[in-house]
Structure 1
Amino acid sequence: MSDTGRTGGASPARRVGARDRDSEGRARNARPRDGLGRPLPYGAAGVDRQPEGVVRTPDASVTEAQALLDEGKPFHAHEVFEDAWKSGPEEERALWRGLAQLAVGLTHTARGNVTGGVRLLRRGAGAVEEWASARARWQPYGMDLAGLVAWARELAETVEHDGRPVDARERAPRLREP
């Protein structure tokens, strides 16, 4: 979940030799990406990336991430959660980081990386559960944290048992209670 490999912000990527670099010379991969964030060949039609470093309200972050999850784009949803974790209040960072881990776990399971996906789903579920347990049933921004934890653990069990990739759109979680 580092910034490498992402474009956006004030430093657009440019090709320098065999590597893409931003205007400050930092490595940035400008290759187009598919809906699960996998790099495509240069010149291929890709999916628009989430802009980097966007400061949103927490409600806007949840709404945007849910829309991306519903579209089968958990990689992009993780970037929204990552922005919230980096720009939000210190006391909420563990929550947003846990949500980002859940989105990346779904990304990996959809890509077929069963081991990595299961590990991230469980790590994210633990982080969200730990954060929520310290706040006595507070459901921040209308999110169903207990439901998300249950979703992640059930998906991890299913993927671990079946050993097959999942459809990210079909297995997308509901962030808020219906």
Structure 2
Amino acid sequence: MDRERDRDTEGRARSARPRDGLGRPLPYGSAGVERQPEGVVRSPDATVREAQRLLDAGMPFHAHEVFEDAWKSGPEEEAALWRAMAQLAVGLTHAARGNATGGARLLLRGAAGLAAYGSAERGPAHGLDLDGLVRWARELAERVPGAGAVDAVGEAPALAGRR
């Protein structure tokens, strides 16, 4: 059956297909995980809380969308922070899907972004444990190539340090 592409009001492609907890599309009519609404403006604290909730639930793809909203709606001087956080979340997503190369690459890119953000003191870190997240991402990136698909819940980072 040939379906028209799902589009938003501005004509951009938006898939209405249900998705699993790692953001993979499922067949139409399947029960999926509720998607994160796009374009939500949250406070930095609310962003960190919601992303941590999603990471703890094994939904790093959805956490990446929360960070992406902060990146796009927040102050320009914090864009690098939220972009790096989104890269970490999507790196974990790829690693959990079994894409070792893409997962490791994005984890390292996010770690580099956080390290640069922290060393440049561009803006507030909003309680994020930047050093701990950089360490976590680099260590996971080293383990991913031989691990197969990783457990998204078991590998979820503590964004603000120890829980």
TM-score between both structures, scaled by the size of structure 2: 0.94
Alignment of 1:16-95 (within 5 A): 17-95=3-81
Aligned-partner residue type, residue 71 of structure 1: A
Unaligned runs of 5+ residues in structure 2 are none
Deviation per residue, 1:150-171 (Å, 9 max, x gap): 00000000112x1411000000
Q: 2:88 aligns with which of 92, 96, 102?
A: 102
Distance in 1 (alpha carbons) for counterparts of 2:16 and 2:96: 23
Q: What secondary structure is seen at the aligned counterpart in 2 of 1:127?
A: helix
Aligned-partner residue type, residue 141 of structure 1: H
Aligned-partner residue type, residue 109 of structure 1: A
Moved over 4 A (4+): none
Deviation per residue, 1:4-26 (Å, 9 max, x gap): xxxxxxxxxxxx94321223433
Distance in 2 (alpha carbons) for counterparts of 1:146 and 1:24: 40
Distance in 1 (alpha carbons) for counterparts of 2:144 and 2:10: 41
- Conservation of the 8 A alpha-carbon contact between 2:81 and 2:125: no
Distance in 2 (alpha carbons) for counterparts of 1:21 and 1:105: 27
Deviation per residue, 1:57-110 (Å, 9 max, x gap): 000000000000000000000000000000111111001000000000000000
TM-score between both structures, scaled by the size of structure 1: 0.86
- Conservation of the 8 A alpha-carbon contact between 1:106 and 1:168: yes
Residue matched to 2:136: 151
Q: 1:174 aligns with which of 148, 153, 158?
A: 158
Distance in 1 (alpha carbons) for counterparts of 2:74 and 2:5: 32
Unaligned runs of 5+ residues in structure 1 are 1-15
- Conservation of the 8 A alpha-carbon contact between 1:139 and 1:145: no
Q: 1:140 aligns with which of 114, 125, 134?
A: 125
Identity of aligned pairs, percent?
Answer: 70
* Alignment root-mean-square deviation, CA: 1.6
Distance in 1 (alpha carbons) for counterparts of 2:111 and 2:12: 33
